[in-house]
Amino acid sequence: MVDTDRHRSDTIRAPPGHDPERAGRPPPPAGDGRPALAVPWAAFRRAKGAGGGLGEGDKAVLRGFGDLEAEIMDRLWSWGRPVTVREVVDDLQQQRAVAYTTVTTVADILHTKGWLRRDKVGRAWVYEPTCTREEYTARLMHQALETTSDRAGALLHFVDRISGDEASALLSALAQVKSRDPE
């Protein structure tokens, strides 16, 4: 005899936190303390042969990289050349165990988001960043500045916390910008 109660749909329970309205859509951001920000992925897509990433006029909201994303980007920025997933995995495994498929997936995600460009070389993809570490940092700083209505106040608090060397570098950068702008 078949236990019909086991087959009744009302006895099947959804996992905790399951929202049937979100079925098929990405989950909401984890509660990791980082702000949940919408990213218009179309802004990151690139036409075949184009440079990829965000252009100067693109308006998109950024979010800091996840741990593995940051480790991958750090290596690519440091190495300054196109690299294969195997090279990244081999270097990462000097500090911790990580699967080749995991790094491949994260590199593909970074490519889809527009942070990496890739080219096929033989049977492998080689990846390289679409922007410099400094450009990425500047975008994050600009994003943070856009979160306040008192930008002058935020800049004052920022400048109050930087070192003398950083203040000198900031003054030098401001002088460069001023020399480029026609008055």
pLDDT, one tens digit per residue, over 46-74 is 322 334 444 444 444 456 899 999 999 99
Q: Which of 123, 124, 89 is nearest to 106 (CA)?
A: 89
The phi-psi region of residue 159 (left if phi > 0; otherwise alpha if psi is between -120 and 50; otherwise beta) is alpha
Q: Give the whole-angstrom CA distance, residue 159 versus residue 153.
A: 10
**Residue 58: per-residue pLDDT:** 42
Question: Which token pair is 110?
Answer: 């970074």
* Predicted confidence (pLDDT) at residue 34 exceeds the cutoff of 90: no
pLDDT, one tens digit per residue, over 96-110 is 999 999 999 999 999
Contact predicate 134/119, CB 8 Å: no
Contact predicate 37/61, CB 8 Å: yes
**Residue 181: per-residue pLDDT:** 77
Q: How far, CA to CA in Å, does 94 sit from each of 73, 86, 88, 100? A: 17, 13, 10, 14
The residue length of the chain stands at: 183
